[in-house]
Amino acid sequence: MKSLSLKWRILLISCVFLLIPLASWLIDSKFESDLERDNFQQTVQQANNLRSFFEQLIQHDNNFRQKLDTNGVKPTLQVALRETGILVDGFSDEWYPYHGFTKRIQNFGQTAELSLVEDQKHMFLLVTVEDDDIAYRQNLDMTGMSDKVELQLDGYRLQFAPLAPGRVAALRQTSNGFREVASVYAVWQELTEGYQLEIRIPRNQIGTLFSAEIHDVDKNVNSAPVLQGLYSFTNFEQVALNSMLSVGALSRLSADDYRVMITNLSGDIVYGYGQPHQDIKGHWRNRLWLSDLSPIQTRGSKVSLSSDELDQTLIGKAQEQLVDEGLLTAYSRILEPLYDGEQVVGALIIESSAINQKLYLRDFWLRMLLLMLLFWVLMVWWLYRSSKDYSRRIVELRDITEEAVSEQGQIRHVIQREEYYDDEVADLTNTFSHLTTRLKQHHDYQEKLVARLNHELRTPIAIIRSSLDNLSVENLSELDAQMLHTAQSGASRMSQTLSRLSEATRLEQAIKSADKHNFDVVVVLRDLTRAYATNWPEHQFEFETNVDEVELKGSRDLFVQMVDKLITNAVDFDDQSQPIRLKLALEEGRLLFEVSNRGTPIEHKALKSVFSLMHSSRKNSGGHLGLGLYLAKLIANFHNGHIVAKNHNDQGGVSIVISWKNKYFTD
């Protein structure tokens, strides 16, 4: 964590916000579990209320009681409750959930099927007939024979005799002939082995009794229509429709909250109502959580039920179940026995699910998650932009600070104040600006101080030296002459010190104003080695290198002056036992220049101070004021080099080493 940059730290902290959706999901799971338990308790309570109601209905409603009677069941037609969308187009693709309610008959070697489905507004009929020769109506006035289907409702008959495949009119016979019933919609379609007729009739036109007949007409050898037969699904009698919407108590229940089923002792569904939470199919977001949008498995296509739980209920033992507990599709199923006095005559099954509330909760969670995600992205983007800006400004401040102050603590330029921003980094920049301004003023004062001292002290020193010279011509005692000599030496040393300080100041100014250009260090050092051998014949000089050519960017004259200072220092301390060695080498991507000599080593505590101003390691400094290595360090820094002094391992000499990083030279 300590090694991470500011922007990465902010990004890492931002990732902590991802724990919020996780925590909210855990809370959501807890709420869903509570919803399951609450729904279960409500379903149990609702089952108890409905059981009491239906037991009273058994006592007072003979028709309802007869529905539960398994001994003399009258013929009825089962009507399924519509659970899926039905498009009246003459095809049966969407009728597959209702196959359990299909009525099949066979006559003249042909099979016919009738399926009935209802909802609150309409009843849907699908008639499928096998017919090897379809005869269509030829006349508009209904004269002649043709294939047709007739429905007998409570008080009237409807005929469907098409002129051709497609939409067919529903014709009602009156005293004035036939008239079309516009509220009935029907489509006739041919099949490979017959035809299908799909009909939609308003429920208020159905009544409670129903009969359906099929007229089969074929053509003979003379192409004349001949009636082959007439057959009915109900033996030409009207039978009662076993409608699941015919009991007022059931129709008043909310079909979206509960599914209620009443069975007799044989497990036949006498009444059934409701398909909970069908509205979830209209929300596309629900498909994120469910592949099958039926929270409770459909029972609409079943006419009877059989299960261990139902068997237990029919012997008087109520059953309570929470199916798929913990899952999104969990639902409550309560089975209560229905009594007629002391006798069990049927069972009440009520099912309910809290999936709607769970989906609403998840929908809210999803919305909140998306909103939080958008907020988190914007926040991270803003934090990243801010941290990146802060990092850039801090790096810029570091760079200009390194450029403003040299390794010797000299101020190259003053850091400018930050006027655009008003924050902590701006305050730090302004503080550095104020600090560099004060250091610059102090440095300028020191530079001017040397010039002022040189200017102000030379005249008094000249007067002192003149007065001492005048005293030296007189006859003085030995003690007075010795004191006079000491005073003259001090005045001479003071004058020499001022001269060297002025020289150092002039060199510093010359370094600041010097132009930089590339020059070959190998050529310069070879020429200097030959010159040094001529100037100091009593000393030996050697030049070693492992490169043929290497260039530095700087001042050739200043570089020569730096090497002169190093060689002068080496000559002063050389014991002439071995040659003074100049070595230039490339090692591990760095350029090293070393001047070494044999002689007295430098004290360990003085290795870092030998490059300081006015420092001298000579026991008898004489005219030396310790400016040589100081000036050499100034020039080395000007050429982006790092200079150090080190003793030889055998304590028999000293080396001055200057090194350059690979970005400051070209080989």
Per residue in 556-594, pLDDT (tens digit) is: 988 998 999 899 889 988 888 889 999 999 988 899 999
Read off the DSSP letter of residue 181: -
Model pLDDT, residue 396: 84
Residue 609 lies in a domain: yes
User: Positive or negative CA dihedral for 176, 177, 181, 184?
Assistant: positive
- 185: β partners: 200
Average pLDDT, integer, range 506-510: 71
- 544: β partners: 583
Residue 42 has pLDDT above 60, yes or no: yes
Q: Which of 439 and 624 is assigned the larger pLDDT?
A: 439
The number of distinct structural domains making up the chain is 4
Model pLDDT, residue 637: 84
Model pLDDT, residue 184: 95
Phi then psi for residue 208, to 5 deg, are -115, -15
Model pLDDT, residue 621: 44
Model pLDDT, residue 592: 93
Identify the band that residue 1 occupies on the pLDDT scale cut at 50, 70 and 90. very low
Last residue of a domain, one of 197, 220, 242: 242
Identify the band that residue 447 occupies on the pLDDT scale cut at 50, 70 and 90. low
Q: Which of 303 and 240 is assigned the larger pLDDT?
A: 240
Residue 656 lies in a domain: yes
Looking up tokens 């855990």 gives 26
Residue 372 lies in a domain: no
Tokens linked to 349: 């099954």
Name 434's Cβ contacts closer than 8 Å, sequence gap at least 6: none
Q: Which of 273 and 166 is assigned the larger pLDDT?
A: 166
- Taking a C-beta distance cutoff of 8 angstroms, is the pair 123, 192 a contact? no
Tokens linked to 326: 């913990």
Residue 198 lies in a domain: yes
Q: 102-134: buried (b, 16+ CB within 10 Å) or exposed (e) per residue?
A: beebeeeebebbbbbbbeeebbbbbbbbbbeeb
CATH number at residue 575: 3.30.565.10
C-alpha angle 485-489-491 in degrees, rounded to nearest 5: 115
Q: Which of 114 and 36 is assigned the larger pLDDT?
A: 114
Last residue of a domain, one of 242, 277, 307: 242
Residues 212, 371: Cα–Cα separation, whole Å: 59
Residue 435 lies in a domain: yes
Same domain, 197 and 310: no
Model pLDDT, residue 168: 94
Identify the band that residue 30 occupies on the pLDDT scale cut at 50, 70 and 90. confident
Model pLDDT, residue 635: 86
Read off the DSSP letter of residue 74: P
Model pLDDT, residue 99: 82
% the chain with pLDDT above 90: 18
SS3 label, residue 512:
helix
- Taking a C-beta distance cutoff of 8 angstroms, is the pair 89, 126 a contact? no
Residues 303, 98: Cα–Cα separation, whole Å: 10
Identify the band that residue 149 occupies on the pLDDT scale cut at 50, 70 and 90. very high
Residues 420, 396: Cα–Cα separation, whole Å: 15
- Taking a C-beta distance cutoff of 8 angstroms, is the pair 131, 194 a contact? yes
Residue 394 lies in a domain: no
Q: 1-34: buried (b, 16+ CB within 10 Å) or exposed (e) per residue?
A: eeeeeebeebeeebeeeeeebeeeeeebeeebee
Model pLDDT, residue 595: 93
Model pLDDT, residue 60: 73
Model pLDDT, residue 623: 45
Model pLDDT, residue 543: 93
> Per mean pLDDT, which range of 40-49, 292-301, 389-398, 523-532 is the poorest?
292-301
Same domain, 628 and 524: yes
Q: Using one digit for the tens of pLDDT, what is the confidence trace for 343-387?
A: 888 899 888 888 777 777 777 878 888 888 888 788 778 877 877
- Taking a C-beta distance cutoff of 8 angstroms, is the pair 216, 108 a contact? yes
Looking up tokens 């979206």 gives 256
Q: Which of 484 and 629 is assigned the larger pLDDT?
A: 629
Same domain, 220 and 284: no
Last residue of a domain, one of 470, 495, 513: 513
- Taking a C-beta distance cutoff of 8 angstroms, is the pair 487, 470 a contact? no
Looking up tokens 């007229």 gives 215
Average pLDDT, integer, range 308-337: 86
Same domain, 529 and 650: yes
Q: Using one digit for the tens of pLDDT, what is the confidence trace for 159-209?
A: 999 999 999 999 998 877 888 999 999 999 999 899 999 999 998 888 888
Identify the band that residue 276 occupies on the pLDDT scale cut at 50, 70 and 90. low
Residues 571, 14: Cα–Cα separation, whole Å: 65
Same domain, 231 and 250: no
CATH number at residue 502: 1.10.287
Residue 195 lies in a domain: yes
Q: Which domain holds residue 339?
A: 20-74+245-362
Same domain, 208 and 257: no
Model pLDDT, residue 154: 80
Tokens linked to 87: 């498009």
CA nearest 319: which of 349, 346, 364, 293? 349
Q: Which of 418 and 87 is assigned the larger pLDDT?
A: 87
Same domain, 335 and 357: yes
Residue 495 has pLDDT above 60, yes or no: yes
Helices (H) and strands (E) in the chain, counts: 11, 28
CA nearest 638: which of 526, 509, 522, 527? 509
CATH number at residue 41: 3.30.450.20
Same domain, 657 and 588: yes
- For residue 62, the one-letter residue type is N
Same domain, 92 and 202: yes
Residue 109 has pLDDT above 90, yes or no: no
Same domain, 273 and 338: yes
Residues 154, 210: Cα–Cα separation, whole Å: 7
Same domain, 168 and 217: yes
Same domain, 193 and 290: no
Model pLDDT, residue 628: 78
C-alpha angle 118-124-130 in degrees, rounded to nearest 5: 135
pTM of the predicted protein model = 0.44
Residue 43 lies in a domain: yes
Model pLDDT, residue 186: 96
Residues 434, 330: Cα–Cα separation, whole Å: 72
Residue 24 has pLDDT above 60, yes or no: yes
Residue 618 has pLDDT above 70, yes or no: no
CATH number at residue 148: 2.60.40.1190
Residue 303 has pLDDT above 70, yes or no: no
